[in-house]
Each structure stands twice: as C-alpha cells, then as structure tokens.
Structure 1
Amino acid sequence: MSENASDGLLVSERETEDGLLVAVCDADILGETFTEGDLSLSVTEDFYGGDVADAERVAASLAKCDTANLVGETAVSIALEQGFVDEANVLDIDGTRHAQLVWM
C-alpha cells in the first residue's frame, strides 16, 4: 500500500461464479470493525484490501461490476454521486456508511 493510501480509497476486483465483485473502502478504515445492534461490519484486508484508487477509478470499477460492496464516507459518496446506489439503500453502522450494489 502506498504512503498516500490513508488519504484515498482502496478498490479490489475479483471474478466470482456470479460475475465481477468489486469491493471499495476508504483506506483509513481498513482493519476496523463497526458494530451497531445485531449488525457488524469488518473492513478486512482480505476482502477490501486492494489498489489505491481515486474517484474516477472507483466509478469505472462500479460501472463494470456485477456486485459491489462499499464502506466509508468517501466510497459511498462516490457511488451516490455517480448514481450507482440510492441514499435510501445506504446503511449507517456505528457511524460508518455501507452500501451494496447488485445488478440483476
């Protein structure tokens, strides 16, 4: 991970039997776990660790994915601004925003 990762985003792309899965997180929350009530979200290196990216790269990945998981204020904001997710479908878990995207 580059020295600037704490200022940006991480994006990971992997092929699954259901198509391209994209995981995006704000770099500064990698390794954190957020819990609220029965919900728990772990931002693990295994799942969310990836390449340092800017908003343009994230939008390009979301445009070609079949499924996406996004966590963090910046990651979710990009998906909202680009029209990939709707605000009504964004969760707030312990102060952190989370959204999922599935193209059907």
Structure 2
Amino acid sequence: MEKAKTQSFTVAIKSSPNGTVLVITDTELIGQKFENERLQLDLSKKFYEGELMSSEELSTKLDGAYVLHVTGKKAVEFVSELGLIDSKKVLEIAGVPHAEVYLGM
C-alpha cells in the first residue's frame, strides 16, 4: 500500500560510463558531516547537491538508474518500501542510514 503523504528529497543525477547514478538524500542533511570510528559521510560535498524532487517524480527516475546512492532515514525508507534495498545492507553512520544499490542496466 502506498503512502498518501508525498515526500521530497534532494536528488542529484550523475552520468557514468555504465549508466545513471541517482544520489538520493534527505534534504535536511545536505551540508552536514557525520562520522563514526570507521566511516565518514560528508554531505557538504558537491556530489550530494541536486534538485528538490517529490517521491512521485523520483519514482519515475528509478527505472533508468544503474546505481542508487541513498542517504537519510526518509530516503532509505522510501527506497526500501519499493523493494530496492536489502535492510541488511544499510550502513548507519552516526545514526544516519546510508545504502548503495546496484541495479544494473
């Protein structure tokens, strides 16, 4: 069952030789840095900058993506609800969920 509430995320669309990479981030996290004893997540980097996109618009972009780079509780939850993220593969860095998903071509 789909959620009635529309969400929005910051989405950067990157081109790679293998296809499109979608960088999907909870908007309120952009510009922040998070780290634990092993990993660092620097959301102040240009890589994470993108456009504000509704969940409906984002859904239309997912079909053509090669890789998803997903950061933040809402973003990971949204992509998980679509069946694209294995919850066992989600990293947590200073309380911020992060996943990278290979979708292929």
TM-score range, shorter chain: 0.7 to 0.9
Report the CA distance between 1:45 and its aligned residue: 4.7
- The whole-number CA distance in structure 1 between the counterparts of 2:18 and 2:63 is 16
Q: Which residue of 1 aligns with 2:11?
A: 11
Measured after TM superposition, the shift of residue 38 of structure 1 is 1.3
Gaps of 5+ in 1: 1-6
Are the aligned partners of 2:66 and 2:102 in contact in 1 as well (CA < 8 Å)?
Answer: yes
Offset of 1:29 from its aligned partner?
0.5
RMSD of aligned alpha carbons: 1.5
Q: Which moved more, 1:44-53 or 1:21-30?
A: 44-53
Taking the aligned partners of 1:48 and 1:61, their CA distance within structure 2 comes to 17
Which structure has greater helix proportion? Answer: 1
Moved over 3 A (4+): none
- Trace 1:1-104 onto structure 2 (pairs within 5 A): 8-104=8-104
Give the paired residue count: 98
Give the TM-score of the pair, scaled to structure 1: 0.86
Q: Under a length normalisation based on structure 2, what TM-score does the superposition of the two structures give?
A: 0.85
- Cα contact 2:35–2:94 (8 A) shared by 1: yes
Match of 2:4 in 1: none
